[in-house]
Amino acid sequence: MTAVDVPADGERPVGRDAELAVLTRAVTALLHGRGSVVEITGEPGIGKTRLATALMELATRRGIPVVRARAVRGNTTSLQVFRDAWEARRADPRATAGAKTFDEFGDRPGKWAAGCALVLDDVHCCDADSVAAIVRLVRSQVPGPFLLALAHRPRQTAPELLEALEYGVQAGTVTRIEPGPLGPASVAALLTRRDAPGDPESRAAARSQDFASLVCAAAEGSPRYVRLLAAADWRPERWPDRPGTDTAGLLREAKPLIAEFDALTPQAAITASAAAVVGSPFRPEDTARVSGLGLDRTLDALAELERADLIRPADWKGNLAFRHPVVGHVAHERAGVSFRLRAHRRALELIADRGGRASEKARHAEHVLGMDAALATRTLAEGAAEIAAQDPATAAHWLRLALESLPAGGTEPTARTEMELACCRALIASGQLAEARTRAHELLGHRHASLGERQLLQAHAVCAAVERRLGRYAEAAALAGTALGQLPRPLPDPLPTEAAELVIEYGLVHVLGGTHDQVHALLREAVQTSLESDGADLTVLRVLNALCATHAGDLAEATAEVTRCVRLVDALPDPLAGRTPETLALLGSAELYLERFTDAARHLSRGLETDGTGSRQPILLHRLLGLAMAEQWTGRLDASERHAQEVESLARALDFRPAVTLAQAIHATTLVWSLGREYADKAVALVEEAPRATPHGHSWWTASATGLLAHARLLAGDAAGCRRTLLDSEGGNRMPPVRPFSRPFLLSLLATATLECGDHEEAHRLVRTAEADAERLGLPVQEAYTRRARALLHQADGEHDAAAKLLDLAADAFRAADMPVEHAWTLATGIRSFDIAQGRETALGHLDAAEALARTFGAALVQERVAQMRAELSEGDDTAHPLGLLSDREREIAELATTGLRTRQIAERLFLSPRTVETHLSRVYRKLGVSSRLALSDLLRRIG
Give residue-wise pLDDT tens across range 829-838. 999 899 988 8
Whole-number pLDDT of residue 99: 56
CB within 8 Å of 362: residues ≥ 6 apart:
379, 380, 382, 383, 384, 386, 398
CA 450, distance to chain mean position in Å, is: 43
Whole-number pLDDT of residue 163: 94
Average pLDDT over residues 508-522: 85
C-alpha dihedral (897, 902, 906, 908), degrees to nearest 10: -170
- How many Cα neighbours within 13 Å face the side chain of 592? 27
CA distance 729 to 720: 13
In DSSP terms, 39 is beta-bridged to 150, 176
Size (the chain), residues: 944
Within 10 angstroms of residue 14's Cβ, the number of other Cβ atoms is 20
Question: What backbone phi and psi angles, to 5 degrees, belong to 41?
Answer: -130, 155
Give the burial string for 65-93 (b: 16+ CB within 10 Å, else e): bbbbbbbbeeeeeebbbbbbbbebbeeee
Residues 416/403, Cβ–Cβ less than 8 Å: yes
| pLDDT tens by residue, 604-653 | 888 766 544 444 566 788 888 889 999 999 999 999 999 999 888 888 87
In DSSP terms, 41 is beta-bridged to 152
CA distance 190 to 221: 11
Q: How far apart are the first and last CA of the chain?
A: 109
Q: What global pTM score does this model have? A: 0.69
Residues 484/506, Cβ–Cβ less than 8 Å: yes
Residues 923/799, Cβ–Cβ less than 8 Å: yes
CB within 8 Å of 391: residues ≥ 6 apart:
none
Residues 290/350, Cβ–Cβ less than 8 Å: yes
Q: Answer yes or no: is pLDDT of 693 > 50.
A: no
Instruction: Select the highest-mean-pLDDT range: 208-212, 221-225, 444-448, 921-925.
Output: 221-225
Q: Which residue has the higher pLDDT, 49 or 204?
A: 49
CA distance 748 to 754: 10
Average pLDDT over residues 184-202: 69
CA distance 380 to 400: 9
Closest CA relative to residue 464, chosen from 507, 516, 523, 411 = 507
Whole-number pLDDT of residue 408: 62
List C-alpha distances in Å: 824 to 349, 635, 673, 790, 860: 70, 10, 11, 18, 11
Instruction: Select the highest-mean-pLDDT range: 20-34, 657-671, 809-823.
Output: 809-823
Strand ranges, E, within 621-694? none
CA distance 462 to 467: 9
Average pLDDT over residues 509-532: 86
| pLDDT tens by residue, 218-227 | 999 999 999 9
Residues 511/541, Cβ–Cβ less than 8 Å: no
Q: Is 508 exposed, middle or buried (0-12, 13-18, 19+ CB in 10 A)?
A: buried
Q: Answer yes or no: is pLDDT of 473 > 70.
A: yes
The secondary structure element, H or E, covering residue 150 is strand 147-152
CA distance 99 to 82: 14
Residues 763/754, Cβ–Cβ less than 8 Å: yes
Residues 178/42, Cβ–Cβ less than 8 Å: yes
Residues 202/211, Cβ–Cβ less than 8 Å: no
- How many Cα neighbours within 13 Å face the side chain of 370? 8
Whole-number pLDDT of residue 196: 44
Within 10 angstroms of residue 641's Cβ, the number of other Cβ atoms is 21
Instruction: Select the highest-mean-pLDDT range: 230-244, 261-275, 598-612.
Output: 261-275
Query: Of 149-163, 205-219, 415-429, which range is least confident?
Result: 205-219
Whole-number pLDDT of residue 238: 80
Closest CA relative to residue 231, chosen from 195, 267, 276 = 195
With bands split at pLDDT 50, 70 and 90, how would you rate the model's confidence at 935? confident
Residues 920/893, Cβ–Cβ less than 8 Å: yes
Whole-number pLDDT of residue 202: 45
Query: Of 150-159, 525-534, 628-637, 744-753, which range is least confident?
Result: 525-534
Q: Is 161 exposed, middle or buried (0-12, 13-18, 19+ CB in 10 A)?
A: buried
What's at 34, amino acid-wise? R
In DSSP terms, 117 is beta-bridged to 66, 147
Residues 293/270, Cβ–Cβ less than 8 Å: yes
| pLDDT tens by residue, 128-168 | 999 999 998 888 866 567 889 999 999 999 999 999 999 99
Whole-number pLDDT of residue 268: 94
Running DSSP on this structure, what letter comes out for residue 116?
S
Average pLDDT in the chain: 84
CB within 8 Å of 171: residues ≥ 6 apart:
none
Running DSSP on this structure, what letter comes out for residue 531?
B
CA distance 335 to 329: 10
Whole-number pLDDT of residue 282: 92
Residues 514/469, Cβ–Cβ less than 8 Å: no
